[in-house]
């Protein structure tokens, strides 16, 4: 019984880490995607 409880805790922790890393990854991707967009907006502003 103790072993299955430990396994449950480990699985729960791993799932939480995956959820956190997924959110962090999406945030990083969002930042990387927004940087060129902002740079392009600056270029268009300078042309006008």
pLDDT tens digits, residue range 9-18? 999 999 999 9
State how far the Cα of 22 lies from the Cα of 31, in Å rounded to an integer.
14
pLDDT tens digits, residue range 2-48? 789 999 999 999 999 999 999 999 999 999 999 999 999 998 888 76
Classify each residue of 33-43 as buried b or exposed e, where b means 16 or more C-beta atoms within 10 Å of its C-beta.
eeeeeeeeeee
- Residue-number span of the structural domain to which 28 is assigned: 1-48
What is the per-residue pLDDT for 47? 76
H/E segment holding residue 48:
none
């Amino acid at each position: 019984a103790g072993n299955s409880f430990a396994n449950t805790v480990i699985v729960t922790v791993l799932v939480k880490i995956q959820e956190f890393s997924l959110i962090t990854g999406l945030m990083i991707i969002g930042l990387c995607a927004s940087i060129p967009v902002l740079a392009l907006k600056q270029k268009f502003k300078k042309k006008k």
